[in-house]
Amino acid sequence: MFFPIALGGYFFLGSRERPSEWANIWLIFLSLFFYSYWDIRYLPLLLLSIGGNYFVSGVIILRRRMKQPAKSVFLLGMIFNAGLLGFFKYTDFFIENLNFLGENIPLLHIVLPLGISFFTITQMVYLVDCYEGVAKERNLVHYALFVSFFPHLLAGPILYHRSMMKQFNDRTLRLVDWDNLGRGLTLFIIGLAKKVLIADSFVSFVGSGFAHPEHLTLLDSWAVAVCYMMQLYFDFSGYSDMAVGIARMMNIQIPINFDAPYRAYGIINFWQRWHMSLTTTITNYLYTPMIMAFKKITFGKAMLATFLSMLIAGAWHGAGWNYIIFGALHGGGLVLNHTWKKYHFWMWRPLGYVLTLLLVLAAFVFFRANSVADALQVLYAMAGGHGVALPSSVAGVASHYFDVPVEILAGGHLPKKVFLVSLLLVALCPSSNCLVKNIQPNNKWAFAVAILFVWAIMSLSQVTAFLYFQF
């Protein structure tokens, strides 16, 4: 019921003859309601973040206009944001490491507020732009909507003020555009289907595998790892499609976040296709400032900045050494990829695809595992360290003809049909945004989209959170 009310109110208020900000205020109100629906106790945190950053950004802009130094105010704003994020996200991680060194401090068991990483990084980026003189607009309604806009609030994509403020100020975008409405709805339904029909099918199998990594053998460890790779992609890209689709229905363009990442032929190319809004943020607000800090830029310093940027990005995803290792693996992969390109080493293209996917797969094992030890158990099983277990139809033949002692594959049930479909989709199907862009509206298209929507709705049999909510 929520979105039809949101959409109808937005266009009703936007179509009034006398221009006003009521359509944007309506979206702010609904965005805050949307966030509060999970747990209203965390609404003051979001409001504090918006209010605090709006005040700091105003002081920075004012001091720049008056030709006064604004560095101390800027640093206080960054500390404010880092403090909020650090308290909720990293306090228990810090205590755990102190306890490992011999302390005995009880954990606080702080619940991570939904979306805190995304709305915090969005505002930190905005403060940087204010300090550098890029952001100059002062409009509380537009700023509050920029931060709280409900499609992206919980898991991105990461927004940038330059494009968003311009759209919130354009009153022509508050009128119904039937083409945007149709294509946005199509993209939303594709994202919903990705989440419900594909990603959620892997929840049980992946969960049981990572819950008991010591029981995994060669084949099932690979199956669990690849299934998580599929689950994460269809879950997160599904959310992103839904966010972009909802925004487009309201004539608002937000960044596309995925472009067939599992067809990447190198780690550089992978990050040009995976979580693209984060890649842009890492490049502009981590890597570039590090590079500019060097008096003389060399290839070695550029690679150091690349590795450190990915290490920070890994830690941003979560409070745990497994996330830091995830970032380190991707940082190391990027350094190797850049070095390979610098010296023009030859690489057989299919081998590039395979090596990229293997590194991404290994990094995602750390990303998903409950601990570094569990991740190492899974990787050890993938290397054959826990033995080989075969399906019963194959086990008898293998033991009879090859005299190989084998066990029967036990454990969770692999959703074979969904698994096969997911592999075919990531290998052959155009990205969601390309599909929607090239659609020619007709009755067949409408009928197919309607069937997909009904199928997805009928499959909503259990509650499963989007995976990126926890980051």
Residue 405 lies in a domain: yes
Q: Is 90 exceeded by the pLDDT of residue 272?
A: yes
Ranges of H-type helices in 37-149: 43-65, 71-100, 116-131, 140-148
291 and 156 both lie in a single domain: no
261-270, 300-309, 325-334, 404-413: which has the minimum mean pLDDT? 404-413
In the prediction, which pLDDT does 19 show? 61
Q: Is the peptide bond before 157 cis (omega within 30 degrees of 0)?
A: yes
118 and 69 both lie in a single domain: yes
Say whether 16 sits in a helix, a strand or coil. Answer: coil
142 and 10 both lie in a single domain: yes
Residue 469 lies in a domain: no
Q: Is 70 exceeded by the pLDDT of residue 18?
A: no
Instruction: Place 396 in a pLDDT band, splitting at 50, 70 and 90.
Output: low
Q: How distant is the alpha carbon of residue 454 from its chain centre?
A: 26
Residue 321 lies in a domain: yes
165 and 199 both lie in a single domain: no
Q: Considering its fold, how many domains does the chain have in total? A: 2
The conformation of residue 286, written as its DSSP 8-state character, comes to: I
Span between the terminal Cα atoms of the chain, in Å: 27
Q: Is 60 exceeded by the pLDDT of residue 406?
A: no
Sequence-ordered list of residues with C-beta below 8 angstroms from that of 297, at least 6 positions apart, any chain? 291
129 and 221 both lie in a single domain: no
Residue 308 lies in a domain: yes
Mean of the per-residue pLDDT values of the chain: 90
161 and 202 both lie in a single domain: no
- Angle, helices 372-382/203-211, rounded to nearest 10 degrees: 100
300 and 361 both lie in a single domain: yes
Separation CA 282–CA 420 (nearest Å): 34
For residue 344, indicate whether it is catalytic: no
127 and 212 both lie in a single domain: no
149 and 205 both lie in a single domain: no
The torsion region of residue 138 among left (phi > 0), alpha (psi -120 to 50) and beta comes to beta
List 317, 330, 344, 386, catalytic entry: 317
Q: Is 70 exceeded by the pLDDT of residue 356?
A: yes
Residue 215 lies in a domain: yes
In the prediction, which pLDDT does 115 show? 87
pLDDT in tens, 379-391: 999 999 888 776 5
Boundaries of domain holding 375: 195-235+256-421
204 and 152 both lie in a single domain: no
In the prediction, which pLDDT does 391 show? 58
Q: Is 80 exceeded by the pLDDT of residue 111?
A: yes
Separation CA 112–CA 254 (nearest Å): 25
Mean pLDDT computed over 397-421: 63
152 and 204 both lie in a single domain: no
Of the residues 140, 172, 204, which one is the last residue of a structural domain? Answer: 172
Burial class of residue 153 in the structure, from the number of CB atoms within 10 Å of its CB (0-12 exposed, 13-18 middle, 19+ buried) = buried
The token pair at 40 is 């209203």
Separation CA 48–CA 35 (nearest Å): 14
Instruction: Give the predicted TM-score (pTM) of the model.
Output: 0.91
217 and 358 both lie in a single domain: yes
